[in-house]
Amino acid sequence: MLFEVWAPNAGRVALHFVTPRDRDAEGAGVEDPALTTGHAAATGYVRAGQVSAEHVPMERDPGRAGWWRADVPARHGDRYGFRLDDGPLLPDPRAARLPDGPDGPGAVVEHGRFVWRHAWPGRPLPGAVLYELHTGTFTDAGTFDAAVERLPHLARLGVTHLALMPVCPFPGTHGWGYEGVAPWAVHEPYGGPDGLKRLVDAAHGHGLGVVLDVVHNHLGPSGNHLPAFGPYFTETHHTPWGAAVNLDAPGSDEVRAYFIGSALSWLRDYRIDGLRLDAVHALIDTRARHFLADLSAAVDALSTHLRRPLFLIAESDLNDPRTLAPRAHGGHGLHAQWNDDFHHSLHTALTGESQGYYADFARAPLAALAKTLTGGFFHDGTYSSFRGRRHGSPLDRRATAAHRLLAYAQTHDQIGNRALGDRQATGLSPGLVACGAALVLCSPFTPMLFMGEEWAARTPWQFFTDHTDPELAEAVRSGRRREFAAHGWREADIPDPQDPATRDRSCLDWSEAERAPHAALLAWYRTLLAVRAAQPSLTDPDMTRTEVTYDEEARWLALRRGPVRVVVHLGGDGTAEVPGGSGRERVLAAWPDALDTVTAGPDGVLRLPPESAVVLSQEE
């Protein structure tokens, strides 16, 4: 087997095979015999961690500057690492498995050994409905295999893709995943590489695609060994996490190839259907061709090779049309992006919140919502009071397919970054939750739900960590409390990220879905998703065919897409009188159920009670 590593500054590099740790004394049982190869057997098990069983000096690769290689016998499960200039044993930057966490050796993974049960032609983004979930809190067990048991629920719900939050290794057991430090590997407590494959395979068996959240803009503060190998980071630029990932300084060719190779591995070796790229605005790249353009070109080429659709979804707060523009036209060629402007306008319309970045949207929330529904961005060159400057640029509505923007009422960020991690359902009535669902699921964009949203879960989703470094743990704890204290919160009220109870509180309570009012809301989400799937106009990619009318004072908004009209009344009292009906509309969905026979009067005016929603279709 060929082992390779990029270490341009090293004078000597050695490959070391190591024995597996004897974990019997820890109550975990001895290592799987499949991991005990000739290398490990040479010295047997030991109780004091890892010891060297075989030392192999590596040679410089004559064809690639800075690369070292060694071609030696090895099998699936062999534990190994690299020593640079006789230094400490370090994990392979491209290790697919880190059985003992980020600081331990890697294990050889032969991807071809996994037996896939389901042939999968792929599932493209147009027409999709995404379901964002965090493996560690989707179930109490917090594993891939436990998530498999809940897939029938998602198939019945009517979503089309799981959107997994990051699964790369990080210190400890529980965390959000955005402090991962090994972009090619899978977090062992979740189930490791084979566990992820079992989840993807099972999802495909239910007809569900899988999107994976990947983080290229930074690595976590603990367990990151990349700087020992080469210039993976640069002081030329700085980000909120410190030195930037090196995308444009000396050595950046290999760094770009490293992250592109990682992305392709998820799509190829794990049969992932698409990637969500975290915070691409933090990818600082001054080169003539941006890293994102190189990445999208590589993914498009792999899609052609594999003969199945693959896609990239950016998280970007730039409101920059170049993110989605074709590479041939100077864009980055990404296939879609999150649209926080839609979230912010909807959130302010439902909740009335106006702090921070909500301020611009809260001045006239229905007007803001109407603008995003018809034009994509709210900030398209307008002044942003939060930023103190103009922000964004207009999308070309005729050239941008509507499905290339994602619409959502809640995400892990918009819940977890609140002081208490409270969901919308905690402060909203079931009627307002139902109105929000109608606007998300009948919007012109690709809808996305956050796990549990479909039954208006009231379990919080809080910020939690499991740092093994006591100083780092305290820094995170005190830093978060100081941050919210500056906004008027008592430090004692902010959940301790390191307390296991914080993670436990964040796990979904699946029994909620069987109780009132959650069961009725779950039925509402299922109905809306069925309507979306059955009505072609609701997945029409042409944004210019979306019409919106509203009354800011009366608190109603009507969205028309072809023959389908969605009307919501967000007011708390009185009847809304909504013009524009023909008297020949049939009800496709209504909240509450008593509205299932509602029709417009002879004057074409639809009369709706407070906190209600209806989806209508024009009769032929």
CA distance 40 to 61: 27
CA distance 596 to 558: 17
As given in the structure block, the two tokens for residue 573 are 């009292």
CA distance 561 to 583: 17
Nearest of 537, 533, 597, 576 to residue 128 by alpha carbon: 533
CA distance 579 to 561: 16
CA–chain centroid gap for 139, Å, is: 17
CA distance 264 to 319: 26
CA distance 305 to 57: 36
What are the start-end ranges of the H helices in 142-251?
144-148, 151-157, 192-205, 226-229
Question: Please, how many CA atoms are within 13 Å of residue 385, restricted to the half-sphere of its CB?
Answer: 10
As given in the structure block, the two tokens for residue 566 are 């969605």
CA torsion through residues 157, 163, 165, 168, sign: positive
Instruction: Give the CA distances from residue 301 to residues 267, 306, 313, 424, in Å, rounded to whole numbers and listed in that order.
Output: 12, 9, 17, 41
Q: Rounded to 5 degrees, what angle do the CA atoms 123, 413, 508 make? A: 75
Region of residue 142 (phi > 0: left; psi between -120 and 50: alpha; otherwise: beta): left
* Contacting residues for 432 by C-beta, under 8 A, at least 6 apart: 350, 570, 611
As given in the structure block, the two tokens for residue 80 are 């190994």
As given in the structure block, the two tokens for residue 443 are 């919007």
Question: Is 611 an active-site residue?
Answer: no
Question: Is 201 an active-site residue?
Answer: no
Catalytic residue among 201, 285, 315, 585: 315
Residue type for position 277: L
* Contacting residues for 64 by C-beta, under 8 A, at least 6 apart: none
Find tokens 């009318």 and name the residue: 549
Catalytic residue among 278, 454, 585, 611: 278
Instruction: Give the CA distances from residue 300 to residues 21, 275, 306, 363, in Å, rounded to whole numbers and listed in that order.
Output: 42, 12, 10, 42
- For 434-528, list the strands marked E by DSSP: 446-450
What are the start-end ranges of the H helices in 98-168?
135-138, 144-148, 151-157
CA distance 403 to 546: 13
CA distance 78 to 94: 15
CA distance 511 to 495: 24
As given in the structure block, the two tokens for residue 363 are 């001045």
CB 174 within 8 A of CB 215: no
**Which residues are designated catalytic?**
278, 315
